[in-house]
Amino acid sequence: MSLKLSIWTWRQQGIKGVWIKLPIELASLVQIIVKEGFWYHHAEPNYLMLVYWIPATEHTIPANATHRVGVGAFVVNDRKEILVVQEKSGKLRGLGFWKIPTGVINQGEDLFTGVMREVKEETGIDTEFVEVLAFRQSHQSFFDKSDLFFLCMLRPLSFVIQMQESEIEAAKWMPIEEYAADPLVQKHEFAKYILNVGIAKVEKRYSGFSPVCIQSAFIDEQSYFYLNSRDLEQKSSSVNESSSS
């Protein structure tokens, strides 16, 4: 059956949205499919997804992935030194700008796993995840996608830096006071917010979000729910005390 005839049949059946998952081995068929009104939805290494909306109405096909997820690691040792790096590429290359280790979460990777991996890759430092401190949303970031950036607090488990030569120009432990006084940091609003939130956490004036493993009610799968456990425990204690009095 031809694609044109299939579309006619689907229209008679009241079908609205049509998805074609085209394996890379059949990429030569793309032109034929597009000529029938299909458009690209997304692509992966081994397939291309095309979609078509049959009714003469505005389509309700869900968009492709809208956000990329990034992480940044605020790592402070017992000497009140922060782990910072200078990158070999990107907008900050060659500016002498010290920043916290950052990176992108892989598909299927948990936040806490990804941020520890990025620190290990860039600096060789082993860490323990503590909390998500804050997050930022921005738009028109990477290939016009939006971006979610999660600032995380990590506790160092090792201290000897082994720099990733391919991506990192320099890496070191820097006293927090020295980092705070850096003129480039002072000019960078986002860096100042990162620093202020991180210092507040170090000084125990701030509480972030810790992961709690939860079981899905619908599928046999676990996920992580990030919450402010300190305030939740304090609230629960207050409720219990009120109930017993």
Which sequence positions are flagged as catalytic? Answer: 121
Q: What is the dihedral of CA 57, 62, 68, 71, to 10 degrees?
A: 130
In the DSSP assignment, the letter for residue 76 is B
Which residues are 21's β-sheet partners?
Answer: 49
The continuous run of DSSP H or E covering 137 comes out as strand 127-142
To which H or E segment does residue 56 belong? none
Is 24:46 a contact under the CB 8 Å cutoff? yes
**Residue 178 burial (CB count, 10 A):** 13
Comparing C-alpha atoms, which of 3, 120, 14, 114 is closest to residue 57?
Answer: 14
For residues 210 and 214, what is the distance between their CA atoms, to the nearest angstrom?
13
Fill in the DSSP letter of residue 205.
Answer: S
Phi and psi dihedrals of 217, rounded to 5? -85, -10
